[in-house]
Amino acid sequence: MTGNVSAAPSTLHGTERVRLAVYNGFARTGRAPSVPELAALTGLAPDQVRQELRTLHASHDVVLDPQGNDHVVMAHPFASVPLGFSVMGARTLWWGGCAWDSFALPHLLRDEPDVLVATRCPACDTPHAWVVGRDAPPQGDQVAHFLTPMHRAWDDVVRTCGNQRLFCSTDCVDTWLRRTGQERGYVMDLGTLWRLARDWYSGRLDPGYTRRDPVSATAYFAEVGLHGSFWGLPD
């Protein structure tokens, strides 16, 4: 489905074997592999798998359920819980962790030239769907609103992702903000969202992937057209 083998190469260290098995499992099936499945895929004992998952959680490579550390809630851009988006490929259905991650999936999944991203406006419940591919942004006047500034994103990452949503318009954003008592975050059009998602996760399914450091992250944000302190950039 993704052009990646199901088992992580045994020559890699344990943490990377588990990381690859989690990500490729999500990519193939749309769900998080269990600890027994990860043990079978990596050749590691279940207790070692659990330890490697905790290491990956600490490095922000996965997000574990605080109520049960055996369960992977998120491995961006994949999610095992519904956070407002569904993403349908040719044969596989994924939960989109947020607007950003949902638009990122076709760029990461090598055998999916495009996907159908579906959601509802949080303000008025209007359904929306876009065919999102790798060549150009989808058409539409809808906007994305991100609530949490990037320097606070990992304070509660599930809440952060759950509040990166797509709205009918800025009017709907304003309605939702008044209803919820939240302060405005950052609003962008679909083209900017698509550019943000396009290369953010490049290489995440490959051995040796490393997360962007803060300097390269802010440079990427500026390159795709973002600005302001929300992203750690000048106004």
The pTM score is: 0.92
CB atoms within 10 A of CB 82: 11
In degrees and rounded to multiples of 5, residue 192 shows phi and psi of -65, -40
Is the pLDDT at 44 greater than 80, yes or no? yes
Cα–Cα distances in angstroms (integers) from residue 56 to residues 62, 112, 138, 196, 214, in the given order: 6, 27, 33, 24, 18
Task: Specify the pLDDT at position 4.
Answer: 38
Residues 73 and 79: beta-carbon distance below 8 Å: yes
Task: Specify the pLDDT at position 9.
Answer: 55
Residues 87 and 66: beta-carbon distance below 8 Å: no
Burial class (CB in 10 A: 0-12, 13-18, 19+), 166: buried
Mean pLDDT, residues 37-49: 96
Per-residue pLDDT band at 1 (split at 50, 70, 90): very low
Task: Specify the pLDDT at position 235.
Answer: 87
Task: Specify the pLDDT at position 67.
Answer: 87
User: d(Cα 101, Cα 95) in Å, to the nearest integer?
Assistant: 10
19-41 burial, b if ≥16 CB within 10 A, otherwise e?
bbbbbbbbbeebbbbebebbbbb
Q: What is the mean pLDDT of the chain?
A: 94
User: d(Cα 23, Cα 80) in Å, to the nearest integer?
Assistant: 12
Task: Specify the pLDDT at position 11.
Answer: 64
**Residue in this structure with the two tokens 């769907």, named with its chain if needed:** 129
Task: Specify the pLDDT at position 10.
Answer: 56
Q: How are beta strands 114-120 and 127-133 bridged, if at all?
A: antiparallel
Residues 52 and 62: beta-carbon distance below 8 Å: no
SS (H, E, C) 27-96: HHHCCCCCHHHHHHHHCCCHHHHHHHHHHHHHCCCCEEECCEEEEEEEECCEECCCCCEEEECCCCEEEE
Q: Comparing 16-20, 117-121, 208-212, which segment has the lowest mean pLDDT?
A: 208-212
Convert the pLDDT of each residue in 123-150 to its tens digit. Answer: 999 999 999 999 999 999 999 999 999 9
Convert the pLDDT of each residue in 67-112 to its tens digit. Answer: 877 999 999 999 999 999 999 999 999 999 899 999 999 999 989 9
Per-residue pLDDT band at 6 (split at 50, 70, 90): very low
Query: Pick the residue with more confidence: 173 or 97?
Result: 173
Task: Specify the pLDDT at position 69.
Answer: 75
